[in-house]
Chain A
Amino acid sequence: MLNKTGVPTRVQVQSVFFNEVTLSSFKAVIECYEDIPCNPCALSCPVKAITIAPTLHSQPVVDPDVCTGCSICVSVCPGLAIMLAKVHQDTAIFKIPYEMNEIFTPHQRVHALNRSGEIIGEGVVLSVSNKQHQNKTSIIEVQVDKALLHDFITIRGIQHG
């Protein structure tokens, strides 16, 4: 249970994902399961695809028809709770926020981790973005097996201790 372990349930995770047809292009997946007084994601969205209403504490809701997958919300979320996801053939491609010290480079093979920090497979880094507006939160594009769509959350270097 999220409250005791910090790990959301599968039902919670699936509730914030869109179906595979919608995920044919990148869409924001927001894992903000708690009422927090916070709204940078909604304020920074250039197409107003994210709604926080009626109060500042309300949880964000993404309109997938409006979301362009621009990734601005990914780096502004103070909770690192937003990633982009898309399904491409038999793979799932993510753009995840990353603030640790490991340096990743395109084409690098990496461990794919789940929400408990367990290795669930391998992924390959497609791109790494460190634009000024991201303010030191890297956005890493990673491709994994489509079967990991609802399990994948972050990466670790394979030679990492």
Chain B
Amino acid sequence: MKIYDVCIIGGGPSGLCAAQRCAEAGLNTLLLDRSPSLGGQLIKQTHKFFGSKEHYAKFRGIEIAKLLQDKLTSFENLTIHTETTVVGIYEDFVITTLHHNQYKKVQAKAILCAVGASEKFLAFENNDLPQIIGAGALQTLVNQTHVVPGETMVMIGSGNIGLIVSYQMMQAGMKVKAIIEANDGIGGYKVHASKLRRLGVPIHTKSTIKKAIGTDKLEAVEIIQLDEHYQEIPNTSQIIPTDVLCISVGLSPLHQLTSMLNAKSAYIQELGGWVPLLDETYQCSVPGLFACGDMVGIEEASSAMMEGHLAALHVCAYLKQSHPQAAELIPYYENQLYELRNGVHGSKTLKGILKRKEAMNAQ
């Protein structure tokens, strides 16, 4: 069984940045990802990203995935295994992986989890009909495999993902008939909403889906207006014929891997759900186990990248092989995170991080 200094699980924006820093510090590093290509959700993103130059703003997500990977090409001490799913981690930091129907074991002195998040789903009548699909799967289908599943679409959810995926589907030639939002206001950035409105896409706030209609596949959706207590208002339903219904109602952090090692976790609504508790070095309650990115709190790729750098720098210190520039880089990335969260949209995240910290200290 091969023994590495650190095993990074997840090759999305956070894990790729972490791999760069661990490799630079000379750690014998293993990066695992279950997908055929690295980049996580970035490789499905055809839109230009917000942020500043430190976060690769103005580049399209798919380009950022490439830019991050380009930083990993020169390291002999970095091993990358794609199409490799972690199926178990044990107390002695033995990691079991599945690759092309073969189980393998590796061991690491430290583990950094950056496995991201999974999509939330909605309960409604007939929600198992074909052509009802989550936003991430729809992006995979259309943007990665170039299969457009229908001519028309209704989107549930007006967060940034709902808005962006609607825009991407219009670029792929679909007609977006409506965006449905249960809250009183649009969830995502208004510039994304405005991009859709000017193309004629209606956004219905204070509305939800009542049921999907169809026998063998989706044919239409019934939507209904909601009052201020999120209760349906009778006689306000509307039938919208559509080929596809896309669900984009938020993300849940994937805490399951750290929970396998009995790392303490807590339900923190502001961070998206159950998250592992962390100390100020991104270390879980289990020594040597670290976590970063969306799995410790739902944010944007920009923050996930900054956290990946930071968590990796702390992993290096934990393994007593500090990164040569750690003294400058740690305050630099902490300041980057401060700037990204220092606005209206970041206040919820900051509140959640404070709760996560308090829960950790209470242990």
Contact = CB atoms under 8 A, between A and B. Distances in A.
Interface of A: 2-8, 31-40, 43-44, 55-57, 76-81, 99-101, 113-118, 135-137, 153-154
Nearest to A82: B191
A76 B59 CA distance: 8
B171 A81 contact: no
Contact of A3 (B49, B50, B185): B185
A119 B223 CA distance: 27
A149 B15 CA distance: 47
Nearest to B300: A37
Interface range for B: 35 or more
B190 A6 contact: yes
A81 B58 CA distance: 13
Contacts of B173: 101
Given A37-B346, A101-B173, A56 B52 contact: yes
The 5 closest A-B pairs by CB, nearest first: A79-B191, A117-B200, A6-B193, A57-B343, A78-B48
A55 B194 contact: no
Nearest to B205: A4
A6 B194 contact: yes
B53 interface: yes
B194 A115 contact: yes
Contacts of B302: 37
A13 to B, nearest CB: 11
> Does more than half of chain A's interface fall in helix, strand or loop, or is it mixed?
loop
Given A4-B185, A35-B343, A35-B344, A116 B198 contact: yes
A26 B136 CA distance: 40
B343 A36 contact: yes
B197 A5 contact: yes
A117 B198 contact: yes
B340 interface: yes
30 contacts: A3-B185, A4-B184, A5-B197, A6-B186, A6-B190, A6-B197, A6-B203, A7-B197, A31-B194, A34-B191, A34-B344, A37-B302, A37-B340, A37-B342, A37-B345, A38-B51, A39-B51, A40-B57, A40-B58, A43-B52, A56-B52, A56-B343, A78-B49, A79-B50, A79-B194, A80-B191, A100-B171, A100-B199, A101-B173, A117-B198
B71 to A, nearest CB: 20
B60 interface: yes
Contacts of B192: 79
B205 A81 contact: no
Interface string B341-359: 0111110000000000000
A153 B198 CA distance: 7
B203 to A, nearest CB: 5
B81 interface: no
A8 B194 contact: yes
Q: Which of B191, B200, B345 has the most CB of A within 10 A?
A: B191
Contacts of B194: 2, 6-8, 31, 79, 81, 115
B195 interface: yes
Contacts of B346: 37
Q: Which of A3, A56, A101, A117 has the most CB of B within 10 A?
A: A56
Contacts of B203: 4-6
B8 to A, nearest CB: 26
Nearest to B195: A80
A38 B50 contact: yes
A58 B80 CA distance: 40
A2 B196 CA distance: 13
